[in-house]
Amino acid sequence: MAGAIRGVCRLQPFIKTFSLISQQKVTAFTKPCNYQYQNACRSFTSQMNKLLSEMRFTEEHEWVRQEGSTPHVTVGITDYAQDSLGDIVFVELPEVGSQVVEKDSIGAIESVKAVSDVYCPASGTVTEVNTELESTPEVVNTSPLEDGWLFKMELADVSSLDTLLTEKEYKDYLHGLE
Amino acid sequence: MARSITVLNLGKISYRAAWQVQRSLLQAHRNDSKNEKSFLSEQHPGDVLIICEHEPVYTVGIREREYSQDEERLKALGADFVRTDRGGLITFHGPGQLVGYPVINLKNYSLGLRKYVSSLEKVLIKTCEMFGLQGKTTKDTGVWIDERKIAAIGISCKRYITQHGVSLNCDNDLSWFDHVIPCGIKGKGVTSLSQELGRKVSLQETEPLFLNSFCDVFGCTLAADEKLAENIFLKADFIS
């Protein structure tokens, strides 16, 4: 979602420059402007689709992205989760080095007046946490699948990823909640 | 068909005991065998709305590091001080203040957390309306009469089951709020139904209006469950 906005912003100065020259030139350049805008949107959409297709999901609305075929993964919350929470004001993350167990509560996200637990998607060791979120927790709202990642971990068993939901299974799960 | 919620009136009860009741209800909601069964699990209580009143207590949410210096000072005033897992900053509960803790499964109401908080605000506004008062919400959560806060909200959610809730000032002593910045919002005062109306408005008078508003907003029916209340008071070793 944030990427689409960036796509439009990149084109705004381009469009304004041409409108200063003359209205006719704006018309003449409208088609290329639209083409570049559409390209930006297409590129963002395909980027997002690729991102989602590489992820696994939990019923607690966490996403997990594996690095290649290694046991190292990144974990965050989905766009559905951040939207449902509202403006995020505080993120409590696990300690680096802690041993974590699948389905245990290992963190919390506070949106205005409400705290929601973050659950461990699989057992392993926490290797890194997103320290940016201490000063800018709102990044989880604006970029939940990328810059708003919560923590990284090394899985105890890579095959535990197979028990998580695929993108399609997660979408079906969301439909069931409506 | 309207969903049914059990009303559980715990009367005057310590904050810690009321929180333990909520945790027991939470455990009863969760069927996974990994979790320890609570003494209420056999009864399958379903969605519950706890109504109660506390002795003086200051509570803080998960951002409790901001209050590390305050605990001793506030306890010296004669209040308890509890660190909780809810959202929101510091608040006060005391005699004469209506406290409501819905322990409900949000999936039953198709509510995300933000909409749940907003629904609780609507319940409080409707309750104030029944007294002829114009409550409102602002960018600072809670319910306000002009620039004065009359009700506070702070909740948590664990796998769709809610904990903690709301407090509405009826005829409680507001001077307890002078020792903190309520909910971290500087420059704004607090008020109560009694203060706004210039007469004593008791918790007992407010409770049925609050429950009616809750039914309206959540589209549910409320019913007492004597057996559940009995179970809690007889079997819970944490209630003195």
Contacts of A90 in chain B (CB under 8 A): 62-63
Per-residue pLDDT reduced to its tens digit, A66-97: 999 899 999 999 999 999 999 999 999 999 99
- The yes-or-no verdict on residue B121 having pLDDT over 80 is yes
> What is the 8-class DSSP label of residue A94?
P
Q: What is the DSSP string of B99-160?
A: EEEEE-BGGGGT--HHHHHHHHHHHHHHHHHHTT---B--SSSSEEETTEEEEEEEEEEETT
Are B87 and A105 a contacting pair at CB < 8 A? no
Q: Is A58 on the interface with B (CB under 8 A)?
A: no
Active-site annotation holds for B183? yes
Predicted TM-score (pTM) of this structure? 0.83
Residue A150 to residue A53: CA distance in whole angstroms: 19
Signed CA dihedral, B109, B113, B119, B124: sign only? positive
Whether A165 and A57 have beta carbons less than 8 Å apart is answered as yes
The catalytic position among B52, B157, B170, B183 is B183
- Residue B212 Cα, gap to closest chain A Cα (Å): 24
H or E element, residue A64:
strand A62-66
Are B112 and A84 a contacting pair at CB < 8 A? yes
- One-letter amino acid for residue B90 of the chain: I
Residue A143 to residue B165: CA distance in whole angstroms: 29
For chain A, what percentages of helix, strand and coil (3-state, to nearest 5) are there? 45, 25, 30
In DSSP terms, B81 is beta-bridged to B58
Residue B102 to residue B5: CA distance in whole angstroms: 9
Whether B127 and B213 have beta carbons less than 8 Å apart is answered as yes
Residue B170 to residue B204: CA distance in whole angstroms: 9
Asked if the interface predicted TM-score (ipTM) of this complex is over 0.90, the answer is no
pLDDT band of residue A65 (cuts 50, 70, 90) is: very high
Q: Which whole-number Å values give the CA distances from A25 to A11, A34, A35, A151, in the listed order?
A: 16, 14, 16, 50
For chain B, what percentages of helix, strand and coil (3-state, to nearest 5) are there? 35, 30, 35
Whether A126 and A153 have beta carbons less than 8 Å apart is answered as yes
H or E element, residue A13:
helix A2-21
Contacts of A110 in chain B (CB under 8 A): 61-63, 87
How confident is the model at residue A7, as a pLDDT? 36
Per-residue pLDDT reduced to its tens digit, A100-152: 999 999 999 999 889 999 999 999 999 999 999 999 999 999 999 999 999 99
